[in-house]
Amino acid sequence: MSIDLLANVTYTEAQLVRYENRLVSVGLPCGEEAKVNRGYAMRDEARPPASPPGLANRSDKYTEHLEAVALHMETMREDNAVLIGTIEYEDALDRLALPSHDGPEEIPGYDDDGDPITIPNPPYVEDQEERAAAQNTIDNVTSDELALYDLRNPGEESSL
């Protein structure tokens, strides 16, 4: 599995951890992994246990496998983070492209005593909060996310 940067499929950390555990578990057959683990179990403080023939070879292969899995997962996590940021950037651009709420900022209402007052217009307040969040996302976009946006949207220029 790898991250398709041109698709809109992202993964949660829990999904990535499950995938990493599967990769680690297929590194060595169960019997081989048990032999490696048994070879390192200390039975006596004075002397280490006798290693089965070829244990060093198996443990080196397993260590290499674990290092390869760690490198692969680091790349996947980085790609996933960039993809998530790019999708959020695209959503923010789409949100700011919508027209803003054209209603009044405040509307008439009544307080607890029944006296007339003006209160903030809920749709207007919600619109302003969404626009502020979208602008914040655009202001904090990284160069990697912008580069991926340009790759995913040929012919469109990023707004920065």
Could you read off the pLDDT of 69-94 as tens digits, one per residue? Answer: 999 999 999 999 999 999 999 999 99
Q: Write out pLDDT tens, residues 25-56.
A: 886 554 444 444 444 444 444 455 555 555 55
| pLDDT at residue 60, rounded to an integer | 78
b/e 54-65 (16+ beta carbons within 10 angstroms → b): ebeebbeebeee
Using pLDDT thresholds of 50, 70 and 90, give the confidence band for residue 65.
Answer: confident
pTM: predicted TM-score of the whole model, two decimal places? 0.71
Count other C-beta atoms under 10 Å from residue 22's C-beta. 11
End-to-end CA distance of the chain: 33
- Please tell me the distance from the alpha carbon of residue 55 to that of residue 74, in angstroms, as a whole number: 28
Reported as type and span, the H/E element at residue 92 is helix 55-97
